[in-house]
Amino acid sequence: MSIVVGIAPSQDNRPAVELGIVLARSYGHRLVAVAIDSAAWPMSPALFESEYQKKLRNVAEAALDEVRALLPDDIESECLVHSARSSRRGLLEMCQKENAFRLVVGPAADGKPGRIALGSVSTGLLHSASLPVALAPVGYRVVPEARLRRLTAAYSGSSTSADLILGAAVVSAESGVPFRIASFAPRSRVISAAGVGLDVESSVIDEWANVIRRDTDEILCSIDRLQIKPGETDVAIGTGSDWESALSAVEWEDPEIMMLGSSGLGALKRVSLGSHAMRILQHSPVPIVVVPRRAKSDYTSVAV
């Protein structure tokens, strides 16, 4: 199996490559960096068209040359240019061909430093990928020879996310990475006119935390019954006045990744992330691995 890293010509590919390297090293897979030459329409014989295509291929090769310089010797790696009608389609084709374990993509060019920013290609991938997609934050860097120090699975309180956590537990068990379940919630501002006190929502959040603790205890019991289970398990609950402070309320290892499930309940097929998941994605201080709807059954079946 392999970790496929999508390389975008003329963009900063280092975050995606660094994340790809950590995943490849931690899971013991080969890394395949793929630049898509997306002008590969059926070409007209006109000279102009093939010149254009040649130029694009050169740009892609140049991007891969930069990537080669980043790849360390301790992991098996390969750099390829692949022609396809679109970047999204090309990456998915390569994932299938390479029997990919994860697809890694970088942030959109206009993202905030340290945060994940979805671009058109990554958004499209979340809707159509049938394997987990890892998203690197803007400016993501790791120290040389780093391995994942923990895998956190975000739990939203639904049964679908509980299944996902079991799948994530198996993955971290197989790769010997410590495992954690985390839930996050912002403390809503209270409707001041209700006359019930401005701190009443604190009790609601406390009760939510109790529910989450009870649920995660049950999930931990299920993890204990798995044939192969992670060595270390932990539970974290982050609350704060907004999503950003809720996510910073728990401590994070370096490097660490967080697994996030797409909403299994969305009525619209094109919406793959629920509103909570999207908020977590936008404010996460660590890379996120999204398990798209199409990938969910494969992903969770390993735990059953």
Partner 1 sequence: MTMATLRQQLFRVKPVPQQGESPESDLKRTIGLFSLTMIGVGSTIGTGIFFILSESVPVAGPAVIWSFVIAGLVAGLAVICYAELAGSVPVSGSSYSYAYATLGELPAMGVAACLLLEYGVAGAAVAVGWSQYVNQLLFNLFGFEIPHALAYAPEEGGIVNLPAILLLVMCCFLLVRGTGESVVINTVMVCTKIGVLLFFVLVGVTGWNVDNFADFAPFGFSGVVAGSGLIFFSYVGMDAVATAGDETKNPKKTMPRALIAALIIVTTVYVLVAVAALSAQPWQEFEGQTAGLSAILENIVGAQWPGTVVAAGAVISIFSVTLVSIYGQTRILFTMSRDGMMPKLFGEVNPRTLTPVKGTIVVTVVIAILAGFIPLNFLAEMTSIGTLVAFVVVSMAVIILRVREPNLERGFKVPFYPVLPVLAIIGCLWIISNLQVITIVVFLIWTAVILGLYFIFGRKSSVLGKQRAEQERIGGSDPAGGKL
Interface contacts to partner 1, rule CB under 8 A? 156-158, 183, 185-186, 188-208, 211-212, 215, 276
Q: Residue 161 CB, nearest distance to partner 1 (Å)?
A: 9
Minimum CB distance to partner 1 smaller for 199 or for 251: 199
CA separation for the pair 194, 213 (Å, rounded) = 29
Query: Closest CB to partner 1 among 119 and 186?
Result: 186
Tokens of 21: 């390297």
Whether 142 and 21 have beta carbons less than 8 Å apart is answered as yes
Q: How far is the CB of 225 from partner 1 (least distance, A)?
A: 23
Q: Give whichever of 1 and 191 is closer to partner 1, judged by the CB atom.
A: 191
Q: Parallel, antiparallel, or unpaired: how do β-strands 77-83 and 256-261 relate? A: unpaired
Nearer to partner 1, 208 or 294 (CB): 208
The CB-of-208 to partner 1 minimum distance in angstroms stands at 4
Shortest distance, position 44 Cβ to partner 1, whole Å: 53
Beta bridge partners of 158: none
Please state the closest distance from residue 158 (CB atom) to partner 1, in A: 6
- Shortest Å distance, C-beta 177 to partner 1: 26
Nearer to partner 1, 99 or 210 (CB): 210
The tokens of 243 are what?
A: 């999503």
Nearer to partner 1, 196 or 304 (CB): 196
